[in-house]
Amino acid sequence: MKKDYQELGRSVVAGVGGEENVQSLVHCATRLRFRLKDRSQADKEQVEALEGVIQVVESGGQFQVVIGNEVSDVYKAIAKDTKLGDDDANEGASEDKGNEGSLFNRAIDIISAIFTPILGALAGAGILKGLVAVLLATGVLTETSGTYQVLNAASDSLFYFLPVLLAITSARKFGADPYVAVLLAGALLYPDLIAFGEEQGGSFGFLGIPVLMGNYASSVIPIILAVYVMSKLQALLNGWLHSSIRMFFTPLLILVIMVPLTLIVFGPVGTVISGWLADGYTSIYDASPMIAGAFMGVFWQVFVIFGLHWGFVPIGINNLSVYGEDTFSALLAPAVFAQAGAALGVYLKSRQRKVKAIAGPAAISGLFGITEPAIYGVTLRYKRPFILGAAAGGVGGAIAGIANASALAVALPSLAALPVYFGEGFGLFVVSIIVAFFLAAILTYLFGYKDELEEKAPDQPEETNKDTQAAREVAATSTVSKENQAIASPLKGAVVPLEEVNDAAFSSGAMGKGIAVIPVEGKLYAPADGEMTTVFPSKHAFGLKMNSGAELLMHIGLDTVQLDGKHFQAHVQQGDTVTRGQLLAEFDIKAIREAGYDLSTPIIVTNTNDYLDVIGDNDGNVEPGDTMLSIIQ
């Protein structure tokens, strides 16, 4: 079924309290990152329960909705329906309110808002830069060839003009005019001014004040500091100036004040801070690359879960600016491949189709740098695979540290980004990610996953698995009769084994033994005399306690709770006493199928453990009243 991104987007926005409750919205590779005005208006459980949402994470002052690879489609749908987006007015307007929360949370929020919008461009240019380096090293290209010059310009221009991109994203975050911010960044990179500074020996005067001219290409911190101060100046000027002259006088005064101030103050100060940051990282790395790699390999995905990884982003970019290479990102790559390997281990070990349907694509996605589907859909859900993946990541990270490998550009660790790490230690770096991937897969296969209930039930949130919750609510204590019991079919249709149902909550037998029917007639009948213990508001699931004590769950279709009662009509209420053959409900088979839902209907004895066994008695077509199950005392 083709996903309805428009509907998912509307549901997500409604779940966070509506458009009016959103200060800002950006997205990264897998997440929608909301900054909310009032957290109490957001319903985390409601958002997590949406089909298409993997998980909700609250970190760094953000309400992060994990979507996976299709996040950009959902984001575009939201932008189309609302005024939200990374270029919306709310982004800047929210800055003052963004002061709520701890200093750490505000810092993480600022970093993620500034760097998230350009990650795709950074990754693409980084991969191209790596490929060009490989072609140059292997002699396919030479520095004098036109082909090399064009490709080098395409890959290197983003890093040279990085202050311009950061000026745009910083302006959006801080509520400044992005076009004036670009002019500010342009002045730092203006060729004639740079040439003049070199002619003057690196310094010259502005109104008698010395200006120390540096190289701000690829720099990060100076422009962010400058745009932040610019945003405050802009707000001050807009408050002072009359609206009739504000449009042109505010930009004029900002340029006259901020360009010299940036060259005199923020440029040199930012350069010093960049140097401190680079030196601090280098001192830690040089103390023991192996220990540094092991630490980051183990804990990197933990940082990702809580959104704390954004605090490390400036380190990698700053290393490239200062040193021209970055060893930090090389330490992280094994952690990414390890989680993909752990997902592969689950895929290979599980015999459940639904688990495989999640784990397989998640493993492939992880190999290309997107680990959220693997983490939230597989490894973290079952706990042990995540822990074993982290351990394997630590082993791989230690090897990467020993290799002293480094990245030539910014890139998301993935198979596609391997050329970025081409250079010293590349061979051993490749070994590190291979070891991390296969070690995680093997450990998970041997020790990290089983299909049994005890391995997975604690990790399935009640609010995100309504079908499982329904089955549990139906189950209760019972009085068992002394004779074997025959259970009649409540439907007309084709019988299929329960293990073939495409829903692990049922096919695993976790909720009890039983059978399933694919109905050909939209009528559900009582299979025995008893009491209706449960009639769900969505009218898709019914619980019956037979007079004999057996308790049944009849669940019409899979995931049909999402229809919220549409196409269903109940003829009984909870607490009603019913007789065998009584009509319990009607449903529109055609409409439900057209909506994209599987009509396989599990019939489960939820108190299976009170009996010796529950056996299916029919493997063909059944009519209402035909014997379908036998309960063995």
- What would the 3-class secondary structure string for 14-38 be? HHCCCHHHEEEEEECCCEEEEEECC
Local structure of 169: helix, strand or coil: helix
How many CB atoms within 10 Å of residue 579? 10
The bridge status of strand 627-632 relative to strand 613-616 is antiparallel
Alpha-carbon distance values, 430 to 102, 257, 400, 401 (Å): 40, 50, 8, 12
CA-closest candidate to residue 355, choices 440, 428, 448: 448
* 446 phi and psi angles, rounded to 5 deg: -80, -40
CA-closest candidate to residue 117, choices 182, 166, 59: 166
Find where tokens 């959103």 sit: 22
Alpha-carbon distance values, 198 to 147, 475, 525 (Å): 31, 80, 89
Instruction: Write down the catalytic residue from 8, 12, 16, 28.
Output: 28
Q: Are 540 and 499 in contact (CB under 8 A)?
A: no
CA-closest candidate to residue 166, choices 231, 121, 118, 200: 118
Tokens of 579: 């007789």
Helices 384-403, 289-305: crossing angle, 10 deg rounding: 140
Q: Are 24 and 109 in contact (CB under 8 A)?
A: no
Q: Are 602 and 585 in contact (CB under 8 A)?
A: no
Burial 6-21 (b: 16+ CB within 10 A, else e): eebbbbbbebbbebeb
What is the CB-side half-sphere exposure of residue 607 using CA atoms within 13 A?
Answer: 21
How far is CA 272 from its chain centroid?
35
Local structure of 566: helix, strand or coil: coil
CA-closest candidate to residue 556, choices 516, 511, 614, 590: 516
How many CB atoms within 10 Å of residue 232? 13
CA-closest candidate to residue 388, choices 314, 458, 443: 443
Active site residue 529: no
How far is CA 500 from its chain centroid?
30
Catalytic residues: 28
